[in-house]
Structure 1
């Protein structure tokens, strides 16, 4: 053990949740090992990955408090002023406006948020970045400091607390013996930016068409004529779309959208991601905690996943900081994090999954139920107020 590297906390995963959690500990006096398989260059300047993140007002305030907000170029931030939900060929739309607020939220490219978070963590006192290194195995042991993380180069890290932030397919979660409810949906999400004739007006549209789901997200553009297109289909169909030439791809997407947008032109690269939802059986235990997608991997349809990940790391950081000179790996202490984050996550996770089932089943009763649900939602002011508050509170 004399050659082991000693830290208070070992964070595995330098994605948004892991980076935000590390930053949330600034000034705490705790030493942190931040372990990430990607090379440091990829963290410092991540490439465009196609994903536009819809941030709630709470997430905006959090990024500001962490010091990351001002590091995102203002010209890359797109206001989200209205959201619409469409079903099949019906012209009816369930709409959510900002009402008293100036906007429902904002949309920012994922890679710019990641870059901003890395910039504020890089050089943070007490943080040792271990990039380009992967976890070979990890465990929580009875003797202090409990956590043992062995890297692929043979180095061993001992920590009072292991924090898994390594994606919904978390290897750390598996090695710690935490069970997970996983639903591999057999579908993929393709994302890309496209220019079009019509102005988007900073309106986001979610269209549940028969056999496919299409989201149109407004991208920051002086003419308001560039949107992020998010298309969900069976994995083989997405693979076929990815192989088309840009010209043929634009024709096919215009056809799939039934010319709701015209003059489509691919802007930049296309990216495809397999869809799976995950719910960890435990969020914490003696000597460990799970945050971000390692705790809850949401379906992207309601755009809650990223925001939930930021909220979860904030909750864990507050619990850890409250220990002061106490045992930050105590199961009793970490149970507070688990209770609060499960309470915040459970309704969103189950509600989102129910929504996906309702709007993707193709039976006649399901189609009828969708139309009824949309019209009931539009006519129910309390329901719309609750959804609006989730975004603007």
Structure 2
């Protein structure tokens, strides 16, 4: 029987396995996922990783492998306009550093991050099993049994569900969710441009939804482009010439000619919050616990916060000789993470509703608010620290750059 079984081999699942195994090498930990081996190598997207999460990656000993491919975000600007406006006034700017030499976030290609985490799993002796599609879950007093579609089983003291926003394991554990659809989809792709971005990220609030330009290494940027779902599907299905023409209307010309160099994909956007983060012998982490709008760029980073809190809870319980899968232990993790997640979910929901429209009174009020924040350096520093995850008083040790 294993000590911990992680279901899902994305960034959150792999990080959870590494965090616990590194601090408690004697524990028997494995990761299972439904996807075949090698699928992760086809993911051409990139993710914004906040400063607190890079501290955790440093503790894992993998930041040196990731940093050469990581693009620091040195500045961020926020605009609010119509797509047809000839000029987009800048209402808010943020400097990129939260402390000397540490930007508040980096853009990291997903394949680079997953490769480093898989390498850490290999070094630590964590097995990763592919083609394991969980179809059953039974809970006993001392362990949980997870059954796969091929009839194989895994017995473990603790199951960590990291299998995404449509988590099947969450359903098997009987955990309900609160969710709704925004009627929007996020178009994700990568573009090349003639001129350098100098590490500057941009968020344009347009009536159809936020349009984010996020810098990558070289003269490339990652886009997260929000549109009503029918329009997003139309754009993704269009040829590159039409897509690039629509893209230029939103991106502008300050970085020169644009060319799409990555796959165009659209992801439906909504809010999903689990009513509970734990059940007997089961803990949810990452999108299995919460799926939020990408307007704040915090979705993956919320998952890393889950990992750090869960790992600290599990490791400390193990050191005290306690049962790491007991509901009493897991409820400590839930108490640690639930309020922060709910607060971020509500914040992104309100921001999306506030900015994804063109009502004149709302537009005037939000632009006035952005302008006020831009003129108060102390308030801006507070918001940057919150976004970077470096100022939270209840940060787990890993996010502070400390070992468990």
Same fold (TM over 0.5): yes
Question: What is the match of residue 382 of structure 1?
Answer: 378
Give the SS at the match of 2:263. Answer: strand
Separation in 1, partners of 2:191, 2:37: 31
Separation in 2, partners of 1:187, 1:139: 37
Report how far residue 132 of structure 1 moved: 1.2
Is this contact kept in 2: 1:188–1:274, CA < 8 A? Answer: yes
Give the SS at the match of 2:181. Answer: strand
Paired positions, count: 378
Report how far residue 199 of structure 1 moved: 2.7
Question: What is the match of residue 181 of structure 1?
Answer: 178
1:116 aligns with 2:116: yes
Give the SS at the match of 2:42. Answer: coil
Distance 1:87 1:260, change over 3 A: farther
Separation in 2, partners of 1:243, 1:287: 44
Question: What is the match of residue 189 of structure 2?
Answer: 192
Taking the TM superposition and a 5 Å limit, the aligned residue runs for 1:22-61 are 22-27=17-22, 28=24, 29-43=26-40, 46-50=41-45, 52-61=46-55
Question: What is the match of residue 360 of structure 1?
Answer: 356
Counterpart of 1:267 (choices 232, 257, 261) is 261
Report how far residue 323 of structure 1 moved: 1.5
The root-mean-square deviation of aligned C-alpha atoms, in Å, is: 1.9
1:340 aligns with 2:336: yes
TM-score by length of 1: 0.91
Give the SS at the match of 2:138. Answer: strand
Separation in 1, partners of 2:153, 2:298: 36
Question: What is the match of residue 3 of structure 1?
Answer: none
Taking the TM superposition and a 5 Å limit, the aligned residue runs for 1:218-367 are 218-221=215-218, 225-259=219-253, 261-324=255-318, 325-367=321-363
Give the SS at the match of 2:38. Answer: helix
Question: What is the match of residue 101 of structure 1?
Answer: 100
Report how far residue 255 of structure 1 moved: 2.3
* Stretches of structure 2 lacking an aligned partner (at least 5 in a row): 391-404
1:91 aligns with 2:85: no
148-157 vs 372-381, greater mean Cα deviation: 372-381
- Please give the per-residue CA displacement for 1:156-180, whole angstroms capped at 9, x wherever unaligned: 2222111111001111111111111
Report how far residue 123 of structure 1 moved: 5.4
Question: What is the match of residue 136 of structure 2?
Answer: 137
1:80 aligns with 2:79: no
Distance 1:260 1:214, change over 3 A: farther
* Stretches of structure 1 lacking an aligned partner (at least 5 in a row): 1-5
Separation in 2, partners of 1:211, 1:120: 41
Report runs of 4+ in structure 1 exceeding 6 Å deviation.
Answer: none
Report how far residue 357 of structure 1 moved: 1.2
Distance 1:392 1:17, change over 3 A: closer
Is this contact kept in 1: 2:209–2:352, CA < 8 A? Answer: no
Is this contact kept in 1: 2:273–2:342, CA < 8 A? Answer: no
TM-score by length of 2: 0.88
1:69 aligns with 2:66: no
Separation in 2, partners of 1:298, 1:211: 18
Is this contact kept in 2: 1:140–1:288, CA < 8 A? Answer: no
